[in-house]
Amino acid sequence: MVTMRAARDEAFREAGIPPDGGDSEPWVDFKLGPLPMPFPNTDARRRTVKLHDLHHVLTGYRTDILGEFEISAWELAAGCGRFGVAWYLNLMGLTAGLVSAPGRTLRAFARGRHSDTLYTALSFDEVLDQPVDEVRARLRVLAGPGTPTPSDVLRFGLAALAGAALGLVTFTIALSPVMLAAWVLSYGAYRRQLKHRAA
């Protein structure tokens, strides 16, 4: 049987993701369409992403932009526990998904309401070498997309409103002169280090 580790490593290879999932990189080069949106790769994000990557394996959602919106919705509905970074990023992702792929994002949210996540139920070390099917069963991950109920739609709408408010606050802070200057200096230094390493 295929283990979580093997399935994750294969997914990384297919998507062109480094074997460590980018864990060693100090910055994350994320693009929203053509718009680059790099941000620091904090320890809290690293802890979150290790589990997030395994959720891709369990749910089958791709690692492209729409797949990330879907898994954001799924994780939110299933629960992010004490992982504040997951709540934050998933609220933003769900709201973006509502704009770009509302049907897919809502169905992922409905599916998640019947599941548990690794954020709340099982640990990374506990499941990494377990068979995918066994972990999927333990977390009650539905085989296909969920069928939204009125309750799902209401909760989805509330989550999207929260994500929109959070996004507005985030962009207001990020575009302040002090934060913008700090970001430009930090990211500029990081890019110079990359060029120096490649030379």
| Chain-centroid distance, C-alpha 120 | 15
What pTM, to 2 d.p., does this model score? Answer: 0.85
Task: Kindly report which listed range (46-50, 98-102, 173-177) carries the lowest average pLDDT score.
Answer: 173-177
Looking at residue 78, what is its pLDDT?
97
Per-position DSSP letters for 66-131, written without gaps between them: HHHHHHHHHHHHH--TT-HHHHHHHHHHHHHHHHH-HHHHHHHHHHHTT---TTTS--HHHHTTSB
Mean pLDDT confidence for 100-129: 94
Query: Could you report the per-residue pLDDT of 33-55, keeping only the tens digit for each?
Result: 555 667 778 899 999 999 999 99
Structure tokens at 39: 């941000």
Say if CB 124 and CB 118 are below 8 A apart.
yes
Give the model's confidence band at 15: pLDDT under 50 very low, under 70 low, under 90 confident, else very high.
confident
DSSP H or E stretch at residue 146: none
Q: For residue 143, what pLDDT is reported? A: 83
Long-range pairs, 34-41, Cβ under 8 A, ≥24? 38/187, 40/186
Which residues lie below 8 Å from residue 92, measured CB to CB, with a gap of 6+?
A: 72, 163, 166, 167, 170
CA dist 117 and 185 (Å) reads 37
